[in-house]
Amino acid sequence: MHDIRAIRENPEAFDAALSRRGLAGVSSDILALDAARRAKILEAETAQAAQNAASKEVGAAKARGDTAEFERLRALVSETKAAIAQLMEEAATQDARLRDILSRLPNLPLDQIPDGRDESDNVEIHRWGNPRNFDFTPKEHFEIAGVKPGMDFATAAKLSGSRFVVLRGAVIRVHRALAQFMLDTHITDHDLQEVWTPVLVKEDAMFGTNQLPKFAEDSYQTTNGWWLIPTSEVTLTNSVAGDILEESALPIRMTALSQCFRSEAGSAGKDTTGMLRQHQFEKVEMVTICTPDTALAEHDRMTGCAQAILEKLGLPYRTIVLCTGDMGFGAQKTHDLEVWLPGQNTYREISSVSTCGEFQARRMNARFRQPGGKPEFVATLNGSGLAVGRCLIAVLENGQQADGSVDLPAVLHPYLGGKTRIAADGTLA
């Protein structure tokens, strides 16, 4: 959410930044509403102050036993009561309207972000590893002989419908190994704190990390009003909602493995085969809470944490900076990591690392205090480290052999009881 004061101080800059996202300037409307709102607040509070003063006089009259004066004043105050309540309500309505408008506007891109309309304008900043040369045509993950017995879409469809999967045997062991490997690496090498959180959350939490109000159709809601998190960014980030942290407590760097739930509304027909895009998947998420001036450094650090996972797994990838037109709603700056998928002969997104600046903190009212200072909003960052299902796909496709077996990365072997590959018949070997 945006700071109305910043818009007031420099509406031109605000509109200019919005236009870089391809949106029309709205500052004049917002400022008009803000002016009306402030005038109404002033009017209502001035009336309320008079009312409060009068009430004290009523009390004083009563205290000295002046019954006639007491009754006279009481009647007087009573008369204006309704009118003041009306004014206060109007002021509150104006305030809520402004908040609603502000909460539906996306974050502003940093100056350094490349301009662009869509993903074709993203800029590659880093590339690691060389795609393997296959002496056969590499298959997609669900076509590999050794994978097929362990990746069961038919049973999943019976249970739940499309965009679900049942995993078995070697495949699920590799999936589980990947998640454990990621967490262990983050905890041990990257000094992140592991957290386990609920996947059902209240509406406030979804508002805090900007899933609501604008993107309600992307997530699932239970009959009693809970929401299923689309990412544990929601729970990790909102864990500091409403807090005023000591500056010395920052940065807070967290990681969590969780189930994620997405309706995938609007992606009908995209990635319908395989387990690239599912309604339910696992992800190791990273979230950092820090001071705004350290956010960009933390952003690079977090990007490095995600990259390290891919490098240890030996998976070729590239890192891109998203252009203004492709960035997510809450981001000021985003790095996407795209892993090489030989079966698709292309790089596909496996991690998205964003800094939101103070955007989410303002929604959540999450603040910190410098010694003796006033509370200030924290900065929040989030990134996948990594999406486990997509990483599984990458491991399977990159490690596949001509005979339908899959060689597995060495760092996973300890998590697999020393086994090193999936044989063509689907067993761990």
Active site residues: 262, 277, 349, 352, 390
Quote the least distance from Cβ 217 to RNA, whole Å.
25
Position 172 contacts RNA (CB under 7 A): no
Of residues 244, 265, 297, 402, which one binds RNA by CB under 7 A?
244
Q: Compute the distance between CA of residue 348 and CA of residue 346 in angstroms, rounded to an integer.
A: 6
The number of CA neighbours under 13 Å toward the Cβ of 63 is: 6
To 10 degrees, the CA torsion angle through 370, 372, 375, 378? 10
Stretch that binds RNA, among 73-81, 149-157, 324-332, 417-425 (CB under 7 A): 73-81
> Is residue 338 within 8 Å of residue 312, measured between CB atoms?
no
Per-residue exposure over 230-242, b if at least 16 CB sit within 10 Å of its own CB, e if not: bbbbbbbbbbbbe
- In angstroms, give the least distance from the CB of 65 to RNA: 11
Instruction: Say whether residue 62 binds RNA (CB under 7 A).
Output: yes
Region near RNA per CB under 7 A, out of 56-64, 249-257, 342-350, 395-403: 56-64
Among 48, 180, 294, 420, binds RNA (CB under 7 A): 48
Which residue of 266, 372, 417, 418 would you call a contact of RNA, by CB under 7 A?
A: 372
- CA–CA dist 290, 355 (Å, integer): 10
Q: Write the CB contacts of 204 (distance below 8 Å, at least 6 apart in sequence).
A: 238, 241
Site for RNA contains 379 (CB under 7 A): no
| 45 makes contact with RNA (CB under 7 A) | yes
**Shortest CB 212 distance to RNA, Å:** 17
Per CB under 7 A, 46 contacts RNA: yes
CB of 396 to RNA, least distance (A): 31
Counting contacts by CB under 7 A, is residue 318 touching RNA?
no
As measured in angstroms, the least distance from the Cβ of 244 to RNA is 6
Residue 428 DSSP class: B
Q: Which amino acid is at 342?
A: P
Q: Is 99 in the site for RNA (CB under 7 A)?
A: no
Nearer to RNA, 45 or 407 (CB): 45
The DSSP secondary-structure symbol of 163 reads S
Cβ-proximal residues to 186 (8 Å cutoff; 6+ apart), any chain: 192, 194, 255, 284, 286, 305, 385
- How many residues sit close enough to RNA to count as binding (CB under 7 A)? 28
32 forms part of the interface with RNA (CB under 7 A)? no
Query: Which residues, including other chains, have CB under 8 Å from residue 45's CB and lie 6 or more apart?
Result: 91
Compute CA distances 292 → 102, 192, 298, 361, 372, whole Å: 20, 19, 10, 10, 18
Q: Which residues bind RNA (CB under 7 A)?
A: 4, 38, 41-42, 45-46, 48-49, 51-56, 58-59, 62-63, 74, 77-78, 81, 95, 244, 371-372, 374-375
